[in-house]
Structure 1
Amino acid sequence: MDPAGIAPLLSPQGWALLAALPPYDESRAMALSERLRDEGLDPELVAAALTQSRLRSRARAKFGDFADGMLFTAAGLEQATRLTVAAHHARRYRDAGATRVADLTCGIGADAMAFAGVGLGVLAVDLDETTAAVATVNLRHFPEVDVRHGDGLATDLGGVDALFADPARRTSGGSRVFDPAAYAPPLDAVLALRQRIPALGLKLGPGLPHGAVPDDAQAQWVSVDGEVVEVGLWFGPLAPEGPGRSALVLAGSHAHVVAPGPDGPAHAHVRPVGGYLYEPDGAVIRAGLVGDVAERVRGGLVDPTIAYVTSDHRSDLPEASAYRVLDTLPFGLKRLRAYLRERGVGRLTIKKRGTAVVPEQLRRQLDLRGDAEATIVLTRVAGAQTVLVVEPL
């Protein structure tokens, strides 16, 4: 959507049309478009309104009810921080004593909204004119936010005591960018700003390798309901815990931080499969803290290359899913099919890690029959392909 496409929506007629549209339904969108045009509405306005209706429907996963009063671009929504995560960003700045934050790549305004929500002044800048216009609309209820169209790196930072940036990591065609030097703006250019303003925070993709994390950064991988969504790099007063790695696990309304002890991340040894299996959260795995989970449950790894932890002790951890181990058998299609048929298993949950088996293909090959349910884990145990029959706790 270009600025001309947004402009019709900013009129009273545009806002009224957006408010009057029914919940977006792809199967009915064409018929609705034709009906609105037949009623005499401008085709450009109808197209813009239906585009926003579709984007708002998608945006509810990140913004909840707030999405109904916001505007979006497809690219802006893709990169926007979920409000639950943005709230944690904002509290970090507030707790560090920041008073005015410059969001150098504000996008559609998600993080700036959270900063303002905790009482911070915000300078929100975006290089793209359309995106800056959208952010202006989305932040209209926050007088403490100054939205500007421009280059965040060239913006006058007078009166700013903290910085935030979320560099674009996709090309104009939508392909992912993995080279930090190709981010927009480049990662090194943003990192250089901490020499001027030490309170710097960055939101990056969760695939960032540990070797790319600066030595003075606190790197925190974040998951939301099991999905790893980002890694935050925090510097200076924004990292009171000091340099290192941690994980923030958000599930529903609960938040849990996993951090190593004073001696650094724990090392987990390999041990035989015990009575319980633990699947660490993805953020914990990305942060390299599986050993700390193993230490907490008094267990070890099933294999040196696999992020499954086993123990003889049951523990309830917010950072790991727990299973009771019912049986262990070497992987083999005939053996597994016979095992499941003997037990009348007709509904099977298949989890996997460290194996090339395709679950849906395996399910067809097993030709399941019966009324019982079961859960299996396909993985390597001490280097051997193994099936663990488990029960979720």
Structure 2
Amino acid sequence: MSDLDLLVRDLAPRTLGVLVRRGADFAAAEDAVQEALVEAVRRWPGNPPDDPQAWLVTVAWRKLLDAGRSETARRAREERAADEPAPGPAEHDDDTLLLLFLCCHPALSPTSAVALTLRAVGGLTTRQIAAAYLVPEATMAQRISRAKRTVAAAGIGAPGDLAHVLTVLYLVFNEGYTGEVDLAAEAIRLTRMLAAATDEPEVGGLLALMLLHHARRAARWTADGALVPLAEQDRSLWDTGSVAEGVEVLQAALDRDRLGPYQAQAAIAALHCDARSAEETDWPQVLEWYDELLALTDSPVVALNRSVAVGEVDGPLAGLAALRTVSADVPRHTAVEAWLTERAGDLDRAQALYVAAAARAGSTAERDHLTRQAARLHAAGAGGSSG
């Protein structure tokens, strides 16, 4: 991106936040901001303003007024404009955060909140968002338009709470890299912005969790796109700078002594990143953190993952006993059972479970990985004997 592109991307959500805070309709305000941005890209290279933020707010507000020139709308909006103080340096991150919370409005579904956040706060085009989520551009445009109408109808008085915002940001992060957009990096950027504006430890916990997971990205896939499990990853490929930052952010969050689920998840990720090899992982501490996390969430997914830690600490039979307390409907249940069963020495049953898990896999990469595990046991002679 050019310096101008980066500046425009940074200022667009701030400008939209100012207009929304002034009471403008969300959809109309975004249209006005887009028109102001087009004018900025055309005029700024030869004649840059002294205060780009103020320039964009002024031009966008005028375009918003021009777009609604019925007599009633004109009088109401011009009265608001006359009373509004000139934009100054204070109208910066606070307005972007207002916009972020508004895009994560509780009236929106998570899918719609993600799309609207990427469009309005992230500055991505509808085409980019559609490509990232593998849907037609027209479908994504309709989704975003419906989200704008929902927010406009619900009003600015009830923006999403912090927990909802964090959920939306984590959903964005989990999409990873698709199409031409690195959604994981975008989620980290937005979470950094949120973390800079609040000392809420769970925001720091989420940022740390993202950084620690993102640090391992280069080792997660082979050159031909095959999934590499954590225990088999080349740890020399991990981004040590991101690991160090993640640990530092996590420690600052934990020091506030208000533990939440994202902090606990980040602590588990940090223990994995701290181990020089899979064999050196501090599994007793990992299990302790899973106990904390399960107490905080009572999540069946957490209970599933905890059974793996139990298997590492107390042996595969204990892990299988823990797994029996988890509903078989939980995603990846059969895959975990296959792994623990193999560790327990029942290779015939493990092979059959890997085949069953592959049939239920949530992605092609996971399915192929589980199929390879079944084939590995078969090639080792698991079809004829167990033990």
Name the one with the larger strand percent.
Answer: 1
Name the one with the larger helix percent.
Answer: 2
TM superposition score normalised by structure 1: 0.32
